Amino acid sequence: MKGTSFFMDLETKKLKLLEQLNKATGINFDITDSSLSDEETINKLKEMVVRFNVLDSKSSFYRAFVTRELAYSDAAAYIHRFHIKEDAIRMLFYLESQQDYTKEAVSLLKSLLPDSQDALIEIDSSHILLILHFEKYPNPDEINQYCHEFLDMLESEAFISFKVSYDVPIHKFTDLPKCYKDIVMGMHIGNTFRSTDKVYSYSVLGLGRLLYNVPLPEVEIYLNSHINVDTLSHLDEETLNLLESFFDNDLSLAETSRKMFIHRNTLIYRLDKFADLTGYDVRKFSDAITVKLSLMLYNYIRATS
């Protein structure tokens, strides 16, 4: 299973488009015989969906455009109708709820969109896309603050836990579909390799993005020649969290023990136990790299199994 397997296969795409067409027209369509290829059939279905669906709001237009159901060549009339500035600084934020979100969550998010150019798009029952406009490019600290404002408010007022992924700001309207595709992938990569985090930046998921596209047979070969899957599967959550904290704190014993509220000697004892079990002492840089990669690849296997 490839890292991009979360994108629908051709048959699933056809079924989804037929469902949308049925909903838009009230007529049940079916494909029994066609001289077109699968790709050509999908493109024709997309054209029909766009023709029959009335894009009666800015949000519905954005949804059709970022998901590539509406081509840029067909978007001009809607851009003019909804007074959308093509050359503007935008950021996309892809939110994923841990349960089906409520109308209250949507209302709360809309309250954070003061600019008339901003948009909220409900992708499905657990995913929301925010398109925000900026007068100037926000810096990383400002972006991080926006993300935590979203998440903190939703958790404290709507009582729903979300995660968010984003990429760098863009200024071309035509970049929206690619940016959307990247942050959807960023959510999958983040959930695979950094599942305890709540904010994922696609542009800084470099190692995760690389490993996400490694074929599973190659992953298994690497693990079996270093730390096998069976050994990793027997590690408890406490040990896994300790190792992640040790890596996050640049292999610093003092900083890790402080952050995890454990005595330095207790930390050393646990790292020694891990070294006895696996043969790798993560206090050594080369061993730490091997263990870090092994844990990431192990998470990849678990996520795709």
Domains of the chain with CATH codes: 83-208 (3.30.70.270), 214-304 (1.10.10.2840)
Question: Average model confidence (pLDDT) for the chain?
Answer: 88
Side chain identity at residue 116, one-letter code: S
Range list of H helices, the chain: 10-25, 38-52, 58-66, 76-81, 103-110, 140-153, 176-193, 206-211, 216-224, 229-233, 237-248, 253-259, 264-278, 285-304
Cα distance between residue 223 and residue 297, in whole Å: 8
Res. 156: pLDDT tops 60: yes
Q: Can you give the length of the chain in residues?
A: 305
Cα distance between residue 64 and residue 61, in whole Å: 5
pTM greater than 0.85: no
pLDDT of res. 54: 53
Asked if residue 255 lies in contact with residue 261, where contact means CB atoms within 8 angstroms, the answer is no
pLDDT of res. 2: 40
Cα distance between residue 229 and residue 236, in whole Å: 14
Counting beta carbons within 10 angstroms of the beta carbon of residue 99, is it exposed (0 to 12), middle (13 to 18) or buried (19 or more)?
Answer: exposed
Tell me the pLDDT tens digit for each residue of 227-279. 988 999 999 999 999 999 999 999 999 999 999 999 999 999 999 999 999 99
Nearest to 288 by CA among 271, 266, 263: 271
> How far is residue 94 from each of residues 66, 106, 181, 188, measured CA to CA in Å?
12, 13, 10, 11
pLDDT of res. 11: 80
